[in-house]
Amino acid sequence: MLPEPAAPRLVFGPGTICLLFRTLALPYSNQYEQMEWGIFPHQGNMMDVLWERSALKHVAKVKTPTMLMQGENDSDVPIAGAEQYYIALRDVGVDAVMVRYPREGHGIREPRHIVDSIDRSVRWYVKLLSSRGKISERGPSRAARGEFSVARRKLSR
């Protein structure tokens, strides 16, 4: 019997660790790395360690459908990392979607983008879960859509 596939995942900006440290333009980045590991990324074998921990290095093992959502102006996690990861996921046959949000940085702030991200997330899960027989093809139940009916009952004293 095959194990049940992992739940679909939703990823926000999964840049690779190496790419992040190679392209991060923040002035404190090197001080952080030195404090965290005791050396700078280009000293010793630190780039090898970072590559070993990189999601991009291990993308061939990924089987889980993945949705990436990324702000185009993210200065903490450059969009190039998400783009590389998305392309790699597609190359290895993973069902992947990438959504780019203009004017957004590290986190979605504009109300229209927030609503869009929620709508896309719900549609993504409905699509994947219905294809696996986990929910009805018609979509989520009334409870999952937030249409709860609360039964009222008297409290006994």
DSSP string, 88-120: HHHHTT--EEEEEETT-BSB--SHHHHHHHHHH
Q: What tokens appear for 5 in the block?
A: 């596939």
Q: What tokens appear for 16 in the block?
A: 């690779």
pLDDT for the residue 156: 45
DSSP letter, residue 132: T
Highest average pLDDT, of 32-41, 78-87, 126-135, comes from 78-87
Alpha-carbon distance of 135 to 11, in angstroms, equals: 22
Q: What tokens appear for 55 in the block?
A: 């999601």
User: What predicted TM-score, i.e. pTM, was given to this entire model?
Assistant: 0.65
Residue 70 near residue 82 (C-beta atoms within 8 A): yes
Q: Which helix (H) or strand (E) holds 71?
A: strand 66-71
pLDDT digits (tens, 9 = 90+) for 114-144: 999 999 999 999 988 888 777 765 655 555 5
Alpha-carbon distance of 92 to 85, in angstroms, equals: 11
pLDDT digits (tens, 9 = 90+) for 106-117: 999 999 999 999
Residue 126 near residue 139 (C-beta atoms within 8 A): yes
Higher pLDDT, residue 84 or 53: 84
DSSP letter, residue 60: G
pLDDT over 60 (residue 1): no
Alpha-carbon distance of 79 to 69, in angstroms, equals: 10
Average pLDDT, the chain: 75
pLDDT band at 23 (very low <50, low <70, confident <90, very high): very low
